[in-house]
A = this chain, B = another copy of it.
Amino acid sequence: MANTSATTGLQLRSTVKKNGVLELSLATIPIPEPKPEEVIVRIDASPINPSDQGLLFAGADMSTAELSGTAEYPVVRAPLPPAALKAVQGRLDQSLPVGNEGAGVVVRAGASPAAQALIGKTVAILGGAMYAQYRCIKAVQCLVLPPGTTPAEGASCFVNPLTALGMVATMRAEGHTALVHTAAASNLGQMLNRICIKDDVGLVNIVRKAEHVAVLKAIGATHICNSSAPSFMEDLTEALAATGATVAFDAIGGGRLAGQILTAMEAALNRTAKEYSRYGSTTHKQVYIYGGLDRGPTEFSRTFGMAWGIGGWLLTPFLQKIGFEAAQKLRERVAAEIKTTFASTYTKEVSLAEALKLEEIAVYARQATGEKYLIAPNKALR
């Protein structure tokens, strides 16, 4: 039921105070009058992605967090370590809204026909400030979900699906023919497997635990390497030789994994080398770090010749690079396959206030594979 009479709504805020303390709270903010091209979406579902947690927690030590305030308006405070504080000088004392993406129902619309046409539609939206009961957004930014799709089903239409599609598109654009993915049993990793199976693209999955091997086997993955197995480097080299993958997308970031991938790629390439090359294989090998599940330093021994690169990869610059029309095609594919290829699963659904409970934070802040939360900002109202 569309609540069209509300004039204010709750919004989750994250503030790093000048004294180095993170403060999470709920603010009551007015719902703006939509401009002609805008609509008001009642957010019914918004996922807590790893990419949300950088802005949300600002690197604070959440294991020492303290709760105050009321049940309805909880306030969570946690100190930032000095290094984290240094990294967020640009946001001190700013009360920032959080939440990259979400889905809900259009409850009010501006005067333009495009906006009016969306009234009552269930849409997915991207653009920040989604951990809120209402979000004012341009009609053109709304991805209309196929009839029968719930907001919970459509909540993760952008970040994971477009990242997975972006990986395959980047692979192709840079001349590679197969790819590697780490933390591969994640929601994103499962989507990537479904894309690669459907599109017949070679994919090497790297996971850290035996139970994650089972998850991926169940969805039909062919190449799964467990980095905690003693035979990891041999397994990885075999899988790379079998697929010819020379580009990897790494969600871990820290530690030695990126370098291990390059080393195994070089070993796989050298299997077919005809003569000794002092600078190693001339085939370019690339690892893109797109996440930071391990925030520690990245370390590698340069045992993979000279034709290699390690770099950051982000969805937004990728979408800007390919342009609106190409990006729109990807978004339309996501909407069409939201219940199959791009289906997400969640461990738990919480309200905005519940998302600030210390026991919930303790779970979702771990960013463990298979423990993904969904915020339902209007849960109490339905």
Which chain A residues have a beta carbon within 8 Å of chain B's beta carbons?
54-55, 83, 87-88, 90-91, 94, 96, 253-254, 259, 270, 273, 275-279, 282, 289-290, 292, 295-303, 305-314, 316-317
Contact = CB atoms under 8 A, between A and B. Distances in A.
B299 A297 contact: yes
A275 B290 CA distance: 22
Contacts of A303: 83, 87
For the residues of A in contact with B, the DSSP-based class is mixed
Nearest to A270: B90
Nearest to A275: B90
Contacts of A297: 259, 299-302
Contact of A309 (B55, B278, B311): B311
A49 to B, nearest CB: 13
B317 A312 contact: no
Contacts of A94: 276
A289 B302 contact: yes
Nearest to A278: B55
Given A276-B90, A276-B94, A308 B300 contact: no
A195 B177 CA distance: 40
A253 B313 contact: no
9 cross-chain pairs, A with B, having the tightest CB-CB distances, nearest first: A309-B311, A90-B276, A306-B312, A91-B276, A299-B299, A306-B314, A297-B301, A55-B278, A308-B312
20 contacts: A54-B278, A88-B276, A90-B275, A91-B276, A279-B314, A289-B302, A292-B302, A295-B302, A296-B301, A297-B301, A297-B302, A298-B299, A298-B300, A306-B312, A306-B313, A306-B314, A307-B314, A308-B311, A309-B312, A310-B310
A282 B317 contact: yes
B273 A90 contact: yes
A101 to B, nearest CB: 15
Nearest to A311: B309
Contacts of A54: 278
A314 B302 CA distance: 14
Contacts of A253: 302
A305 B91 CA distance: 15
A90 B259 CA distance: 21
A282 B320 CA distance: 12
A317 B307 contact: yes
A284 to B, nearest CB: 8
Contacts of A300: 297-298
Contacts of A312: 302, 305-309
A154 to B, nearest CB: 24
Given A54-B278, A302-B289, A311 B311 contact: yes
Nearest to A256: B297
Contacts of A276: 88, 90-91, 94, 96
A304 to B, nearest CB: 8
B309 A298 contact: no
Nearest to A54: B278
Nearest to A86: B303
A191 to B, nearest CB: 21
Contacts of A277: 90
A317 B259 CA distance: 22
Contacts of A309: 309-312
A227 B83 CA distance: 21
A125 to B, nearest CB: 19
Nearest to A83: B303
